[in-house]
Chains A and B, each alone.
Chain A
Amino acid sequence: MTGKNVLGILYSDAYNDNISDLTALRTAGSVPFGGRYRFIDFPLSNMVNSGIIKVGVIAKNNYRSLMDHVGSGKSWDLSRKNAGLFILPPYNFGGGQYSGRLEALRNTMDFIQASKEEYVLLCDTNIICNMDFSKLIKFHEAKESDITVCYKNGKYPQLANLMKFKPEADGRIKKMAVPPQAEAGEGTYGVNIIIMKKSLLERLVVQATAGDYDIFEKEVIMKNLDKLNVYGYEIDTYCSVIDSMQTYYDTNMDLLDPAISADVFNRNNPVYTKVHDDMPAIYGIGSNAKNSVLADGCKVEGEVENSILFRGVQVAKGAVVKNSVIMQSCYIGEDANLNCVIMDKNGVIRPRKSISGDSTYPIYIGKNITI
Chain B
Amino acid sequence: MARKTECLAMLLAGGQGSRLGILTKNVAKPAVPYGGKYRIIDFPLSNCINSGIDTVGVLTQYQPLELNDYIGNGQAWDLDRANGGVHILSPYQQIQGTDWYRGTANAIYQNINFIDRYNPEYVAVLSGDHIYKMDYAKMLDYHKEKGAACTIAMLEVPWEEASRFGLMFVDDDGKITAFEEKPKNPKSNKASMGVYMFTWSKLREYLIADEAKEGSSNDFGKDVIPAMHNAGEVMVAFPFDGYWKDVGTIDSLWEANLDLLNPVANIDLSDKSWKIYSNNPVNPPQYVAPTAEIQNSLITGGSHVEGTVDYSVLFSNVTVEEGAEVKYSIVMPGAKIEKGAKVQYAMIAENAVVKSGAVVGEDPQECADRDKWGVAVVGPNLTIGENAKVKAQTMVVENVEGGAEV
Residues of chain A touching chain B, judged by Cβ–Cβ distance below 8 Å, are 34-36, 74, 256, 258, 261, 264-265, 270-272, 275, 277-287, 289-297, 299, 304
Contact = CB atoms under 8 A, between A and B. Distances in A.
A295 B285 contact: yes
Contacts of A34: 284-285
A272 B282 contact: yes
Contacts of A295: 285-286, 301
B296 interface: yes
Interface string B267-292: 00110000111101011111111101
Interface residues of B, number: 35
B295 A294 contact: no
B296 A279 contact: no
B57 interface: no
Contact of A281 (B261, B277, B286, B295): B286
Given A284-B295, A289-B294, 6 more contacts: A279-B269, A280-B313, A282-B261, A294-B286, A294-B288, A297-B270
B252 interface: no
8 contacts: A34-B284, A35-B284, A36-B285, A265-B284, A277-B277, A280-B300, A291-B290, A304-B288
Contact of A291 (B275, B289, B299, B300): B289
B286 A285 contact: no
B287 A261 contact: yes
Interface of B: 35-37, 75-76, 261, 269-270, 275-278, 280, 282-290, 292, 294-301, 304, 309, 313-314
Contacts of B284: 34-36, 261, 264-265, 271, 293
A361 B283 CA distance: 31
Contacts of B296: 283-285
B282 A294 contact: no
A293 B285 contact: yes
Contacts of A294: 285-286, 288, 299
Contacts of B288: 289-294, 304
Given A272-B282, A279-B37, A74 B75 contact: yes
Contact of B287 (A258, A282, A284): A258
A281 B300 contact: yes
A277 B276 contact: yes
Contact of A279 (B36, B75, B287): B36
Contacts of B76: 275
B75 to A, nearest CB: 7
Given A74-B75, A280-B300, A283-B296, A293 B286 contact: yes
A280 B289 contact: no
A282 to B, nearest CB: 6
A34 B289 CA distance: 16
A35 B287 CA distance: 10
B275 A283 contact: no
Of B75, B270, B314, most buried by chain A (CB within 10 Å of CB) is B270
Nearest to B294: A283
A360 B299 CA distance: 32
Contacts of A297: 270
Contacts of A292: 287-288
Contacts of A299: 270
